[in-house]
Amino acid sequence: MKILVVHGPNLNLLGTREPDVYGRTTLQDINQQIMELSGELGLDTVIFQSNSEGAIVDALQNTPCDALIINPAAYTHTSVAIRDAIAAVGRPAIEVHISNIHKREEFRKTSYMAGVVTGQISGLGMEGYLLALRACRKILGR
């Protein structure tokens, strides 16, 4: 089973960016935990990060996978293009947010992705990615 994990804009700054909101865990730390759990679960996982909407759409369309985990970050609230790409590829998808988007500014409470993803995990920090990996494995039935 191949899983694509997509990190959106500014997540490359984790650990130093707004630590009161996102904590001190770096993207490298998150990716290491993702790869370790992927190995334990027997998943082949590819990780991609970009600050560019078009690059994220390209990754969604061009990376073969059985399921998708995506933290679209700020694009959650603005990107019809990423939403449409998730819908177009037709794979199970889990939307992940480190912070609880529903407890933040009003504009962050709307997710353009919510209507096309299998599920959403919000507010559990790095653990959200690990829960999403476990969910993908279960959804794919292995």
**Which secondary structure element, helix H or strand E, spans residue 71, and what is its range?**
strand 67-71
Catalytic hit among 7, 75, 97, 112: 97
Average pLDDT over residues 94-113: 86
Per-residue pLDDT band at 142 (split at 50, 70, 90): low
Report the C-alpha gap between 142 and 111 in whole angstroms: 29
- Active-site residue 97, yes or no? yes
Average pLDDT over residues 101-122: 88
For residue 17, the model assigns a pLDDT of 79
Domain of residue 13, CATH code: 3.40.50.9100
- Active-site residue 22, yes or no? yes
Q: Looking at the domain assignment, is residue 39 inside a domain?
A: yes
Q: What proportion of the chain, given as a percentage, has pLDDT over 90? A: 80
C-alpha angle 52-122-18 in degrees, rounded to nearest 5: 60
List CB contacts of 111: < 8 A, sequence separation 6 or more.
76, 77, 95, 101, 120
Catalytic hit among 22, 75, 112, 129: 22
Q: Looking at the domain assignment, is residue 89 inside a domain?
A: yes
Average pLDDT over residues 83-92: 98
SS3 106: helix
Q: Which range marks the domain in which residue 60 is found?
A: 2-69+79-139
CB-CB contact of 86 with 117 (8 Å): yes
Average pLDDT over residues 70-99: 96
- At 3-42, the pLDDT tens digits run 999 999 999 988 887 777 777 889 999 999 999 999 999 9
Q: Looking at the domain assignment, is residue 83 inside a domain?
A: yes
pTM: 0.93
Q: Looking at the domain assignment, is residue 74 inside a domain?
A: no
Domain count, the chain: 1
pLDDT of residue 120 exceeding 80, the answer is yes
